[in-house]
Amino acid sequence: MSELELRQTTVEASASHAVIRRRGRMPRAGTLVSGAFVLFLVAATVAPALIATQDPNQIAPGDAFSAPSTAHWFGTDESGRDIYSRVVAGTGTSLLIGVTATAIGLALGLVLGVLASFGGRIADFGVSRLVEVLFAFPGLLLALLVIVVYGPGPVTATIAVGLSTAPGYARIIRGQLVSIRSSQYVEAARVLGRTPGRILGRHVLPNALIPLFVLATLGIGQAIVWASALSYLGLGAQPPAAEWGAMLAAGRTYLATAWWMTVFPGLMIVGTTIATTVLGRAMTRRGRSGR
Amino acid sequence: MTDAAEPALGPSLTPVLDVAALRVAFGATEVVRGVDLTILPGECVAIVGESGSGKSVTARALLGMAGADSRTSSERLVVAGQELGAANERTWRGVRGARAGLILQDALVSLDPLRPVGREIDDPLRIHRRMSPAERRTRVLELLAEVGMPDPVLAAGRRSGELSGGLRQRALIASAIALDPPLLIADEPTTALDVTVQARILALIAGIRERGTGALLISHDLAVVARLADRVLVMRDGEIIEQGSAQEVLEDPRERYTKALIAAVPADSPRGARLSSPESGIIAAPSAAPVAMSVRTPSSPAGTGAPLLTIDHVTKTFPVPGGRFTAVDDVSLSLRRGETLGLVGESGSGKTTVARLALALTRPDHGTVLLDGQEWSALDERRRRPARHRIGAIYQDPLSSFDPRWNVRRILADAAAGGRPDARTPSTGELLDQVGLAASVADRRPLNLSGGQRQRVSIARALAASPDVLICDEPVSALDVTIQAQILDLLDELQRERGLALLFISHDLGVVRHMADHVAVMRAGRVVETGDAERVFVRPEHPYTAQLVADAPRL
Amino acid sequence: MTPGSPADPPSRVDGAILRRTGLLVAGAVFVLWAVASLTFFAIRLIPGDPAQAILGGPGSQASQEALDQVRRDYGLDQPLLVQYLAMLGRLITGDLGTSYALKVPVAELLGAQLGATLLLATLALALAWLLALGLAIWSTGRGRVASALGEGIEITAAALPHFWLAAVLIAVFSTALGWLPPVATGTPSGLVLPVVTLAVPLAGFLAQVMRESLLDTMQQPFVVSARARGESALGVRLRHTIRHAALPAISLSGWALGWLLSGAVVVETIFAMPGLGRTLLQAVTLRDIPVVTGVVLLVALVYVLMTVLTDVVSRVADPRLRQEGAR
């Protein structure tokens, strides 16, 4: 089991219960709020200047450590920079790290998962053992090992997080491919005389795709948390950068006096993770109800 | 049924159950609409109905367990002398297990799989009686012996998953009769069981009734009811539409629906006779216009000529820890054009493996499968693929055999595209029409169709490629009896029009008897008897077949 | 009598457990060997001369003699394969090498830290179990509002990063309220915040699993049977549903402990606690390779042992799994 698999199985289970519980077609309030939050994140990535209230790097020593107010919604940091604007500016970096790490993990997971489910018994055995071994580096441990080898920094941290999530992706993808391949509709296609290539293209891959979207959605939330943990530990993005984890690390020194420096960037991370989980559930529910 | 008309005479004639105008609603939908029901001591009353008729909800409402979001009301609800019309949960708890026991369908899931069955049987004693643990233990063992458990001491420590289907059902019954409740409610008590086991469980329930317990039997299966019930109530859409003694209702039904239900039971009804009755107006009639688009006229009459499908001394084993399990053991079968070969057997007898071997989805260890005299199982998949359109399949659970993303149109178009090269590709509309579905079904997903509609789509898909042979693996086991009748009639009709050869696999002897020209009986991977269907059912030669036929419930 | 014999006698089932445990142990040994090898070869990818690193990095301008001496001392002049086999040989005797930075044996260094981290992780695991069970039981079967609330709490808890939760807890309970110390003091009160920080997100995950499994169980026919015998709602929970709900969470405990050990890196750093996590972070920063390798191996060992343990416990708790093994 990995964190990713856990997120994924609970999403699956909750979706199956939700289908039993209610058949309403209206999206839930939580889904709508999460969708709005993600839209905000996208807007902050694409056009941070439109959403920010100030230049995120503008120093105003006289304004240092102001508590949240109408002028500075999230307060200011030790140099008087506006935290709200920095949080907005950091969205792009944090999302980029999260998305890239997820892409790396997903791509590696896909390669391993496809190899295991289509490469015959030996490949399956080899990949399964490899994944098992990688699971013995729980959580951030594999990422820390990568950082020891390649040195700290945002790029290494991103790759490290991607690598350490790959085994989780590999096992889920393998499981899904194997279950689709042994499903009765694939057997029905064989009975109709369809070639393996056609079965793969028409049934296996399309049906594996929707769960992959869900998986990627869940994975982005997790990757952002892990990457910001590395930043917080000083192994990823470094403090002057407006990345959420780095901002938190910068706020650590002033926790006793300026709690807002820590609370607001953290809230963004928490919000992103919650939103991806809720949206992952909503997507799975939609897939289940056959629409 | 010699004693069917009169209830066994009990010491008192106070009913163990007296209900008037029972109503249960979920939200705005009323699922039980004014049911009246009286059961005397020693009497067995059966409620028969199809899924969604409200029979199970009725049974639960009698224990105050219709569900958290339900509303139950009645003019009178007396269980074993106690008025329960306005009972609270606490009062109900005193009734459950003590005055009325409940037996559910499958003990594998109706007994807690984590607890020893002895504990489950002990529960009612612990809850309702002040007995010492030693007394309770003695009583539990007594009960297990009473329900015919071979080794009560050993069985008490077992969990439901560690007992066979019949034995765990006995344990479930023991837990329901632990306090000898005057009323026993049995909701589909034998549905998941093989026929031979089913017969023994029914005998056990009959024995409990003899002691003076009033029994309410809920079933979808008229044949099960016929064995046991003194009185039968037919339920439909939440109402009792007909009732009377078992004999009256089964032999001389008044209501058209009851007639349709009885006619739909395939047992004993001759080969080729229609089971569904579209003229009764009860069953949504398919557009029963004779199908004009006959692709090929059968070249020879049914059951003659060279075999189309030959299974020749085929053996198939699977690896299990510590050896190999022989699923199919030296089986030989042959199937001719226009013929139906019925394959019967209990669960685990190897029927489905035979189907997979015939479809060349799995390779035999020994022996060979021939299609139209040509190598079939021995072929390379690449060489076999072009001939696959000649042999189609329909499954017990059609829903899982459809790609969940596809609608009916896409399913049928895809199947039609790979048909035989010399035939015209049938259109989706034609295919739907052939299986009696409206054209509007084409744009729906199988998930949103009923069970019968799904099986029709599955048949249409199989027909799209114009096969010669159709492998039907338990095609009607999941369907209500009237829907089952329609599907059987449809298969019959299609076979006559197209000269299809059917390999018809079922655990249900009645269904096989109705459908098959020839029958093969399987047990533990072997075919123990084959022959003409009538002969096998009337004069079985193998003792196992004789046992199966004797145990099969019939009207 | 009904045909069909009762299932295997208990002795055969026990035999199956033993056999399976044997397989698990063999698997565990394989995993440990693979982890050691993977780590060993990964470390060789590090650019730069290990001898330089031992002598304080390239800036130290160590003499050629000193470098040669170090290479001989650490066996770095040997071929890679010989070094690898020597490493495996030392591992079997429990020798994890010597720290580059601190010049003390790694086994000694880690041995002193392991207890503190395991205590932290175990307490957090226990608290997470309690919180999760409480939340799952409280929020199921009592209507839509409680259910939605429970679901919301679980998702939020599971989304909380340790480093942020720790900061918020310190801000509230140390800075604002002054109830608890902001750094670990070695006293029980100093453990409260670190344990809570680790436990809350884990409880969020566990509660999700337990709730789904509770909902599943409550729909099972055996619950109907139990109620039909007169069992009360509480009785159904205590005797039936909780046991079923706990099963998936038990099998998750191996993962959970690994996750907690990884979380300890962050939590021990923030609360300035002694332990494996903080040692690891320092070693990573200093590139003290023997220490990193040692921690990785130790965590892998704990993880693997825990996996074997949860597997055995799951099988004891759930007879259905034993049957699968025996079949």
Tens digit of each residue's pLDDT (9 = 90 or more) over B409-460: 999 998 888 656 666 778 888 899 888 888 888 888 888 888 889 999 999 9
Cβ pair C320:B161 closer than 8 A: yes
Q: Which residues of chain B lie closer than 8 angstroms to C239, CB-CB?
A: 112, 115, 123
The whole-number pLDDT of residue A3 equals 77
Q: Which residues of chain B lie closer than 8 angstroms to C220, CB-CB?
A: 109
Of B401, B404, B445, the CB nearest to A188: B401
3-state secondary structure of C76: coil
Residue A168 above 90 pLDDT?
A: no
Mean pLDDT, residues C288-309 taken together: 85
Q: CB–CB of B555/B262 below 8 Å?
A: yes
Q: Chains that contact A by 3+ CB pairs under 8 Å?
A: B, C
The whole-number pLDDT of residue C200 equals 93
Of A183, A195, A203, the CB nearest to B400: A183
The residue among B469 and A90 whose pLDDT is bigger is B469
Cβ pair A10:C269 closer than 8 A: no
Q: Which residues of chain C lie closer than 8 angstroms to B106, CB-CB?
A: 221
Gap between the Cα atoms of B233 and B247, Å rounded: 12
Among residues A162, A245, A219, A144, the alpha carbon closest in space to that of C262 is found at: A144
Taking CA atoms, what residue in B is nearest to C217? B112
- Does the interface ipTM go beyond 0.90? no
Cβ pair C168:A266 closer than 8 A: yes
The whole-number pLDDT of residue B296 equals 35
Residues on A contacting B at a C-beta cutoff of 8 Å: 183-185, 187-195, 202-203, 206-207, 290
Gap between the Cα atoms of B107 and B117, Å rounded: 10
Taking CA atoms, what residue in C is nearest to A12? C212
The whole-number pLDDT of residue C235 equals 87
Cβ pair B404:A187 closer than 8 A: no
Mean pLDDT, residues A140-160 taken together: 85
Mean pLDDT, residues C72-95 taken together: 80
**Angle made by CA atoms C159, C128, C122, in degrees to the nearest 5:** 120
- For B:95-154, CB contacts with A below 8 A are none
The whole-number pLDDT of residue B231 equals 92
Q: Does B386 touch chain A (CB under 8 A)?
A: yes
Residue C322 above 80 pLDDT?
A: no
Q: CB–CB of B80/B181 below 8 Å?
A: yes
Least confident of A52-61, A89-98, B333-342: A52-61
Of A233, A245, A252, the CB nearest to C281: A233
Mean pLDDT, residues C48-69 taken together: 70
| Neighbouring C-alpha atoms within 13 Å toward the C-beta of B90 | 0
Q: For residue B367, which amino acid is it?
A: G
B95, B105, B112: best to mutate for the C interface, most C CBs within 10 A: B112
Of A129, A132, A149, the CB nearest to C42: A149
Residue A216 above 90 pLDDT?
A: no
Cβ pair C221:B93 closer than 8 A: no
Residue B504 above 90 pLDDT?
A: yes
pLDDT digits (tens, 9 = 90+) for A224-268: 888 888 888 888 777 777 788 888 888 887 877 778 888 888 888
Neighbours of B14 (CB within 10 A): 13
Of B106, B165, B172, the CB nearest to C4: B165
Q: How far is B79 from chain C (nearest CA, A)?
A: 14
How much of chain C, in percent, has pLDDT values that exceed 90? 9
The residue among A23 and B116 whose pLDDT is bigger is B116
Q: Please, which pLDDT band fits residue B301 given cuts at 50, 70 and 90?
A: very low
Q: Which of A14-18, A276-280, B60-64, C147-151 has the highest mean pLDDT?
A: B60-64
The whole-number pLDDT of residue B314 equals 93
Q: Chains that contact B by 3+ CB pairs under 8 Å?
A: A, C
C13, C219, C225, C315: best to mutate for the B interface, most B CBs within 10 A: C225
Of A10, A149, A228, the CB nearest to C212: A10
Q: Does B161 touch chain C (CB under 8 A)?
A: yes
Gap between the Cα atoms of C153 and C148, Å rounded: 9
Q: Please, which pLDDT band fits residue B288 given cuts at 50, 70 and 90?
A: very low
Q: Please, which pLDDT band fits residue A139 given cuts at 50, 70 and 90?
A: confident
Q: How far is C131 from chain A (nearest CA, A)?
A: 18
Mean pLDDT, residues B484-508 taken together: 90
Of C1, C243, C326, the CB nearest to B148: C1
Mean pLDDT, residues B274-292 taken together: 46
- For B:263-282, CB contacts with A below 8 A are none
Taking CA atoms, what residue in C is nearest to B152? C6
**pTM value?**
0.81
Mean pLDDT, residues B174-186 taken together: 92
- Scanning chain C, the segments in alpha helix (DSSP H) are 10-44, 50-54, 64-74, 80-92, 106-139, 143-159, 162-169, 188-218, 221-228, 233-236, 242-251, 253-270, 276-286, 289-317, 319-326
For CA atoms A134, A138, A139, A141, give the dihedral sign. Answer: negative
Q: Which residues of chain B lie closer than 8 angstroms to A207, CB-CB?
A: 403-405
Residue C75 above 90 pLDDT?
A: no
Torsion of CA C298, C299, C301, C306, to 10 degrees: 150
Q: How far is C6 from chain A (nearest CA, A)?
A: 31
The whole-number pLDDT of residue B133 equals 92
Q: Please, which pLDDT band fits residue C323 given cuts at 50, 70 and 90?
A: low
A130, A132, A145: best to mutate for the C interface, most C CBs within 10 A: A145
| Neighbouring C-alpha atoms within 13 Å toward the C-beta of B430 | 15
The whole-number pLDDT of residue B298 equals 40
B26, B401, B448: best to mutate for the A interface, most A CBs within 10 A: B401
Residue B272 above 80 pLDDT?
A: no
- Cα Rg, chain A, nearest whole Å: 22
Mean pLDDT, residues C179-203 taken together: 84
Cβ pair C222:B109 closer than 8 A: yes
Of B402, B447, B448, the CB nearest to A185: B402
Q: Which residues of chain C lie closer than 8 angstroms to B176, CB-CB?
A: 228-229
Torsion of CA A26, A32, A35, A41, to 10 degrees: 170
The whole-number pLDDT of residue B6 equals 46
Residue B140 above 90 pLDDT?
A: yes
Gap between the Cα atoms of A277 and C158, Å rounded: 10
Gap between the Cα atoms of B248 and B230, Å rounded: 10
Gap between the Cα atoms of C167 and B196, Å rounded: 68
The whole-number pLDDT of residue B8 equals 47
Q: Please, which pLDDT band fits residue B300 given cuts at 50, 70 and 90?
A: very low
Among residues A230, A236, A217, the alpha carbon closest in space to that of A282 is found at: A217
The whole-number pLDDT of residue B36 equals 92
Mean pLDDT, residues B319-340 taken together: 87
Residue C7 above 80 pLDDT?
A: no
**Angle made by CA atoms A248, A250, A252, in degrees to the nearest 5:** 70
Residue B291 above 80 pLDDT?
A: no
The whole-number pLDDT of residue B277 equals 63
Gap between the Cα atoms of A18 and C219, Å rounded: 13
**Burial of residue A61 (number of CB atoms within 10 Å: 0-12, 13-18, 19+):** exposed
Q: Which residues of chain C lie closer than 8 angstroms to B113, CB-CB?
A: 222, 319-320
How much of chain B, in percent, has pLDDT values that exceed 70? 90
The residue among B5 and B496 whose pLDDT is bigger is B496
Widest Cα–Cα separation across chain B: 80
Residue C263 above 80 pLDDT?
A: yes
Number of A–B residue contacts, CB under 8 Å: 55
How much of chain A, in percent, has pLDDT values that exceed 90? 9
The residue among B141 and C325 whose pLDDT is bigger is B141
Mean pLDDT, residues C66-92 taken together: 80
Q: Please, which pLDDT band fits residue B10 given cuts at 50, 70 and 90?
A: very low
Cβ pair B65:C220 closer than 8 A: no
Residue B24 above 80 pLDDT?
A: yes
pLDDT averaged over chain B?
A: 85
In angstroms, what CA-CA distances link C132 with B426, C139, C206?
A: 58, 11, 6
B70, B105, B114: best to mutate for the C interface, most C CBs within 10 A: B114
Query: What secondary structure letter does DSSP report for C177?
Result: S
Cβ pair C319:B162 closer than 8 A: yes
Q: CB–CB of C268/C117 below 8 Å?
A: yes
Of B94, B161, B172, the CB nearest to C230: B94
pLDDT digits (tens, 9 = 90+) for B86-138: 888 889 999 999 999 999 887 778 899 889 999 999 999 999 988 899 999 99
Q: How far is C48 from chain A (nearest CA, A)?
A: 11
The residue among B231 and B481 whose pLDDT is bigger is B231
Gap between the Cα atoms of C218 and C152, Å rounded: 21
The whole-number pLDDT of residue B3 equals 43
Q: Does B385 touch chain A (CB under 8 A)?
A: yes
Residue in this structure with the two tokens 């594999």, named with its chain if needed = A142
Q: How far is C322 from chain A (nearest CA, A)?
A: 20
Among residues A283, A232, A277, A288, the alpha carbon closest in space to that of A37 is found at: A277
Neighbours of C259 (CB within 10 A): 26
pLDDT digits (tens, 9 = 90+) for B195-218: 888 888 888 999 998 888 999 999
Taking CA atoms, what residue in A is nearest to C251? A1
Q: Which residues of chain B lie closer than 8 angstroms to A195, CB-CB?
A: 385
Residue C5 above 50 pLDDT?
A: no
Least confident of A14-28, A166-180, B146-160, C144-158: A14-28
The whole-number pLDDT of residue A253 equals 79
The whole-number pLDDT of residue C325 equals 45
pLDDT averaged over chain A?
A: 82
The whole-number pLDDT of residue A76 equals 77
Mean pLDDT, residues C43-58 taken together: 68
Cβ pair A270:C216 closer than 8 A: no
**Angle made by CA atoms C3, C7, C12, in degrees to the nearest 5:** 145
Number of A–C residue contacts, CB under 8 Å: 156
